[in-house]
Amino acid sequence: MDPKMDSGFLKPGETLDDNYDVSRALLPEEVVGIMDQLLCYEVAWHHGYPLSQTLFTSIYIDRLLWPPSDCLSDAQFYRGIRPMGLHPLLDVLRSYCIALIKCCDLTIEKVTSRDYYEEEDFSTHTYNRSLLHTVPHDKVLELLRSSIEWLSNSRNRRPSEVHRTSRELEEALINRLTFRERMLLAVAPEQEILDLAAVWPAVSAALPPLEATHSLGRPVPDSFSEKIQRRLASTVPPRPTVDFTFAAAYTKLVQLCKDCEDALRVLEITTESPQEHLSFIWMFSSRKPAPLAYARSCLSSVFLARTTEGFEQLIQTDLSEFVFPADPVLDPVNFTLEAAQSSFAPQDKRLAMATIINEFTGRAAPQYFDMWNSLCQNRCRTRRMICNNIPFIDDLQFATEQLDDELHDLTHTMRYPLSTWVYHMKLRMVEWVVQLGFEQEVYLPDELAGMYWWLSQVASLRASVIEQVYNHLSRRHEILSNGGEIEKAETIRTTQAFVKALMYEATGTGALADAMYALYMRLHYLQLVPILSRPYSESSLRYELRMKPFLRLNPPQIPTFEAFEEATRMPSGSQDDVFAKYDVEGSVKEAKEAWAALKRLGARAAKSEVVQAAWEKNLASTIQSCIACGIAASTISNIPKDAGTGRVKEMFQVEIPGEGKRYHDWWVVPKIKRN
């Protein structure tokens, strides 16, 4: 018998049951030790590991859940009649465990209420055990509170009853129950929480005492057992327990609480502005370390929990923030009109416009939802889901052009406003796919030039789309100002500021991508970037693979392979000519100007006010990347003309920094050192 193959097999003399006596009296320090160990397992579970390898290894938890009990009072460490002389501290531990189980139940409920990926994000498997699902959480709160009260009053009792519990240990136990109480309040269903913004700071505030008193605890390793896995309804063989140290678990827990708190700051966005939300979600998901599934679900269960009509309405708002500010096309009155009874009556243009808009938002809503949904996933999924969504956005754009034509017959707005909005979204998504590719180190060093070249093209294209919108808004602003419609003109002015912010972001991205492309081309010329020989692959096939998510797009049509090859071919000629052709300095200057202009415009104009600090930090990192790109270029600029390839290689050390080692994860600026 191979114990690795059959991890369920018993060694000679070994039994399936554990010999641990759950009714034995516990010292208070042991209760603290058990609670802290449970906390470590809870955090490991939040990190994606199954209950079977974490909390379900606790014999106390096992006894509460199995055999199953119908009501709270039956969930005891014993079944049937309460054994005589059961130590009261066991009741304290029971309260804690019950509340912990209820927290797990509510956590699973929240995570599964939105899209998530089993095991990859989170493990919801309960092995056929109900985590007190039918027990209302306020009953559990009562239980916790009564234990807290009991401990608080312990001074009044005879010493023998509390095992001569020291005041310190009593406090430590109260700390743990208080933390659990607050945690339970925080994971309660949103509709039951009066002040969502307050719940997680309250949990965070309860954490430091846990850390401060952890050393008082005494571990009870015997009260945990891997053997319990063998009795769980599972097709998987028992696997090793996942052990996080208390210090590691504590740090992760602090982070989890902070992430949940910050996720709920989405409620501070008082407008229905999709662009504010977009900025918020990106800033949130870019946090390091990456927010866990539960924290992400705090955000998505607030933002994504809307009906299809809700998303259709959001699209209307999105349109009003881009192509249709203060535009008669979106006048709310239009949507209240009813069709004339007689077919001879002239058609009301306003009604016709509303019909077109409704048709459009109805059509766009599924793709629009998908985009938001993908941004609420883990970063790897986000990239893959956007790849999947892009072709559908492409179809949507094609279908929308006809609606634009119909709209054009009714109103003198810009040409193709709806498909322009779709196109802009699509180009943004293409950029995200490429940039997340840099972030996730999907591209090898010798692919970077080509991928920045493509990014630069897409971003420049997007800038030109934005410019058309901006010009349209300028014209409307002028007309409205001249016509004395000050309020509407002001709305357009605000939108113009936002559109300008988009433009700076697009031009800044395009220019910096161009600078990065040029820098890598210079490095290729100097043979400072390793190139793989790849005997089994052709560059045209690699290009096809790289461009796969975009192959069928129209627009933008991807560059032909010939154009790509021309752009990325190893440069030849004199160094002066090559360096002049690949103008890093010029592009860096342009990029810096654009990003600086965005900075001047500010978070408010960019609809990022709620996440202003993160927005500014992100911008600062991007500007740092521009500077670093310029410095890298200057480091390799003064090479003696007669230096051969060999000498150049000796002169420099080029390091391509990995994720987390860059100023900004989307900008892979090489670190170049002159020896």
Partner 1 sequence: MTESNSPATDNLRYLQYDISKEEEYLPSIRALIGKDLSEPYSIYVYRYFLNQWGDLCFMTLDPSSVLIGVIVSKLEPHRSGTFRGYIAMLAVVDKYRGQGIATKLVRMAIDAMKERNADEIVLETETDNAASLKLYERLGFLRSKKLHRYYLNGNTAYRLILYLKPGTGLKRPERDEAGMAAVTDEMYG
Residue numbers at the binding site for partner 1 (CB under 8 A) = 2, 4-5, 47-49, 117, 119-121, 237, 239, 378-381, 383-385, 387-388, 390-391, 433, 440-444, 447, 532-537, 540-542, 544-549, 551-552
| Residue 389 beta carbon to partner 1: minimum distance, rounded to whole angstroms | 9
Nearer to partner 1, 252 or 383 (CB): 383
Query: What b/e string do you get for 65-97 counting C-beta neighbours within 10 Å, with b at 16 or more?
Result: bbeebeebeebbbeeeeeeeebbebbbbbbbbb
Tell me the C-alpha distance between 671 and 304, whole Å.
Answer: 41
Question: Cβ of residue 122: shortest distance to partner 1, in angstroms?
Answer: 10
In the complex, minimum distance from the CB of residue 8 to partner 1, in angstroms, rounded to a whole number: 12
Which residue lies nearer to partner 1 by CB, 121 or 318?
A: 121
What is the rounded distance in angstroms from the CA atom of residue 522 to the CA atom of residue 578? 7
Two tokens, residue 205: 């505030």
At position 69, the amino acid (one-letter code) is: S
Q: How far is CA 638 from the centre of its chain?
A: 43
Minimum distance from CB of 451 to partner 1 (Å)?
Answer: 11
Nearer to partner 1, 333 or 545 (CB): 545
* Minimum distance from residue 399 beta carbon to partner 1 (Å): 17
Smallest CA-to-CA distance from 236 within 50, 111, 54 is with 50
CA 606 – CA 596 distance, rounded (Å): 13
How far apart are CB 536 and partner 1 at their closest, in Å? 4
Residue 209 beta carbon to partner 1: minimum distance, rounded to whole angstroms: 30
673 bridge partner residues:
653
Q: Compute the least distance from the CB of residue 370 to partner 1, in Å.
A: 11
Strands 652-655 and 671-674, by their bridges, are: antiparallel
Smallest gap from residue 444 Cβ to partner 1 (A): 6
For the bound state, the minimum distance from the C-beta of residue 291 to partner 1, rounded and expressed in Å, comes to: 13
- Report in angstroms the alpha-carbon separations of 139 from 98, 118, 181, 485: 10, 30, 11, 59
User: DSSP per residue over 521-551, as a string?
Assistant: HHHHHTT-S-----TT--HHHHHHHHTGGGT
Cβ 49 to partner 1, closest distance in Å? 7
With respect to partner 1, which residue has the nearer C-beta, 344 or 536? 536
Our CA dihedral for 505, 509, 510, 511, rounded to 10 degrees, sits at 100
24: Cβ contacts below 8 Å, ≥ 6 apart:
none
Distance between CA atoms of residues 658 and 653, nearest Å: 16
Nearer to partner 1, 278 or 380 (CB): 380
Among 561, 285, 558, residue whose Cα is nearest residue 430: 558
Question: How far is C-alpha 72 from the geometric centre of its chain's CA atoms?
Answer: 36
User: What's the rounded Cα separation, in Å, for the pair 630 and 435?
Assistant: 20
Distance separating alpha carbons of residues 203 and 205, to the nearest angstrom: 5
Sole residue written with tokens 């599924």:
366
> Which one, 193 or 547, has the nearer CB to partner 1?
547
| Residue number with CB closer to partner 1 (486 or 545) | 545
Minimal distance in Å, beta carbon 368 to partner 1?
17
- Shortest Å distance, C-beta 617 to partner 1: 24
Look up residue 77 and give its two tokens: 């460490």
Place of tokens 């840099």: 438
Closer to partner 1 by CB, 117 or 398: give it. 117
Residues 625/662, Cβ–Cβ less than 8 Å:
yes
Closer residue to partner 1, CB minimum distance, 198 or 532: 532
At closest approach, how far in Å is the CB of 118 from partner 1?
Answer: 11
Smallest separation (angstroms) from partner 1 to the CB of 1: 13
Nearer to partner 1, 47 or 287 (CB): 47
Is-cis flag, bond preceding 136, omega within 30? Answer: no
Which residue lies nearer to partner 1 by CB, 95 or 378? 378
User: 502-525: buried (b, 16+ CB within 10 Å) or exposed (e) per residue?
Assistant: bbbbbbbbbbbbbbbbbbbbbbbb
Q: CB count, 10 Å around CB of 30?
A: 19
Q: Which two tokens stand for residue 132?
A: 């007190």
**Which residues are registered as beta bridge partners of 58?**
224
Q: Which of 672, 636, 427, 630 shows the shortest CA–CA distance to 511?
A: 630
The nearer residue to partner 1, 347 or 388, going by C-beta atoms, is 388
- 49 or 96, CB closer to partner 1? 49
Nearer to partner 1, 119 or 138 (CB): 119
Compute the least distance from the CB of residue 219 to partner 1, in Å: 24
Closer to partner 1 at the Cβ: 396 or 619?
396
Cβ(56)–Cβ(62) under 8 Å? yes
Decide: residue 10, CB within 10 A, 0-12 exposed, 13-18 middle, 19+ buried.
Answer: exposed
Distance in Å, CB of 119 to partner 1, minimum = 7
**Residue 656 near residue 607 (C-beta atoms within 8 A):** no
- CA 150 vs. chain centroid, Å, equals 42
Return the ∠ at Cα 287 (arms to 591 and 205), rounded to 5°. Answer: 140
Q: Give whichever of 534 and 647 is closer to partner 1, judged by the CB atom.
A: 534
Nearer of residues 433 and 503 to partner 1, judged by Cβ: 433
CA distance 567 to 639: 24
